[in-house]
């Protein structure tokens, strides 16, 4: 748990540095949310016991981040749904790995005994390749393996759908850009013709004036 806490604090601190660099009004940021972001980045270690209230501040920070996430979802729902699916898949992937390792590590005849083993097995299983060099031997492990296979199939289907939506978005933009380029070229051609006509009329008027004067 301490390692997880340190990792979360590191992410919060990097986010604090990023916000501090991007913010144009540095002091305003520090006065409003900056101090909260900084304090929420302090890990709960014995030397900082008097700052244990940083956990509460961290919860407030998460709530603020969730509000920002809601705004992003409202702006672009398809991208938000895709990101949510990916995030949920990563969480389920991690939970399944932990579950399989906990059931298989001490099982007799098990081939999955370390974190490296379960990670390799999970990636191979999720990609529906299945080399067979490592596999669960317990009922609980096999149940989680079946769930992981379903997640792998769903992940590939989601990725394919997302790519299709992405290319559909690109095509209208490309067509719109082509239309704009054609319209610009047409306007430039008309402007060039008008300039030539104006030049011809000017020359004709000049000749007419010369004839009158002569």
**Residue 88 scores a pLDDT above 70:** yes
The answer to which of 56-60, 79-83, 208-212 has the lowest mean pLDDT is 56-60
Say yes or no to pLDDT of 187 above 50.
yes
Give the count of beta carbons closer than 10 Å to the beta carbon of residue 179: 10
- The confidence band for 189, taking pLDDT boundaries of 50, 70 and 90, is confident
Lowest model confidence (mean pLDDT) among 30-44, 89-103, 149-163: 30-44
Query: Could you give the angle at the alpha carbon of 164 between the alpha carbons of 83 and 78, nearest 5°?
Result: 35
Residue 144 contacts residue 99 (beta carbons within 8 Å): yes
Helix axes 54-75 and 77-104, enclosed angle (nearest 10): 130
Number of H helices, E strands in the chain: 7, 0
Q: Is the dihedral of CA 91, 94, 98, 104 positive or negative?
A: positive
Query: What is the tens place of the pLDDT at every residue in 123-178?
Result: 888 776 666 678 888 888 889 888 888 888 877 777 777 777 667 766 555 556 66
Percent of the chain whose predicted confidence (pLDDT) is above 70:
55
| Higher per-residue confidence, 197 vs 125 | 125
Q: Is 67 exposed, middle or buried (0-12, 13-18, 19+ CB in 10 A)?
A: exposed
How many Å from the N-terminal Cα to the C-terminal Cα in the chain? 104
pLDDT over threshold 80, residue 182 = no
Q: What is the pTM of this model?
A: 0.48
Per-residue pLDDT, averaged over 187-193, amounts to 74
Average pLDDT score, the chain: 72
């Amino acid at each position: 748990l301490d390692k997880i806490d340190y990792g979360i604090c590191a992410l919060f601190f990097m986010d604090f540095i990023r916000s501090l660099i991007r913010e144009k009004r540095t002091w305003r940021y520090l006065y409003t949310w900056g101090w909260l972001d900084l304090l929420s980045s302090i890990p709960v270690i014995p030397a900082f016991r008097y700052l244990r209230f940083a956990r509460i501040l961290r919860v407030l920070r998460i709530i603020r981040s969730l509000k920002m996430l809601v705004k992003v979802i409202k702006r672009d729902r398809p991208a938000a749904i895709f990101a949510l699916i990916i995030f949920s898949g990563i969480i389920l992937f991690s939970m399944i790995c932990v579950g399989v390792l906990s059931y298989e590590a001490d099982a007799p005849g098990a081939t999955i005994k370390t974190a490296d083993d379960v990670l390799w097995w999970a990636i191979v299983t999720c990609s529906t390749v299945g080399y067979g060099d490592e596999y669960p031997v317990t009922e609980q492990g096999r149940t989680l393996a079946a769930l992981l296979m379903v997640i792998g199939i769903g992940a590939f289907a989601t990725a394919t759908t997302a790519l299709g939506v992405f290319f559909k978005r690109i095509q209208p933009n490309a067509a719109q850009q082509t239309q704009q380029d054609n319209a610009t070229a047409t306007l430039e051609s008309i402007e060039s013709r008008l300039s030539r006509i104006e030049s011809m009329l000017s020359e004709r008027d000049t000749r007419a004036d010369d004839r009158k004067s002569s």
